[in-house]
Amino acid sequence: MVIKDSLHQLVDELPEEELSSALRFLQYLKDVGNDPFDESALSDADDLTLLAVDADPEQSVADAWQKYLDARTGVEATF
């Protein structure tokens, strides 16, 4: 119950303008948590490389962000 109490306190302390974003995010987490595909996809995966951690996660994040920005501006990224 400690975690729920902490969440309640955090929500109470959020700025008013962030409440709708917080609600959408929490609803998303609730919906994803109830998705049976997520568990079955991981439990049936024989290829553990799907779960491998990148050697350089900062570069992976930077590449993904650049790819997102390029897609928004119509520029094709080459990695």
**pLDDT tens readout for residues 19-68:** 999 999 888 888 887 765 555 555 555 555 555 555 676 777 788 888 88
Contact 77, 66 (CB under 8 A): yes
Give Cβ neighbours of residue 42 (< 8 Å, ≥ 6 apart). 51
State pTM to two decimals.
0.41
Over residues 3-28, the mean pLDDT reads 91
Whether pLDDT at 73 is above 80? no
Contact 53, 63 (CB under 8 A): no
Tokens standing for residue 54: 């990148």
Contact 33, 27 (CB under 8 A): no
Whether pLDDT at 13 is above 90? yes
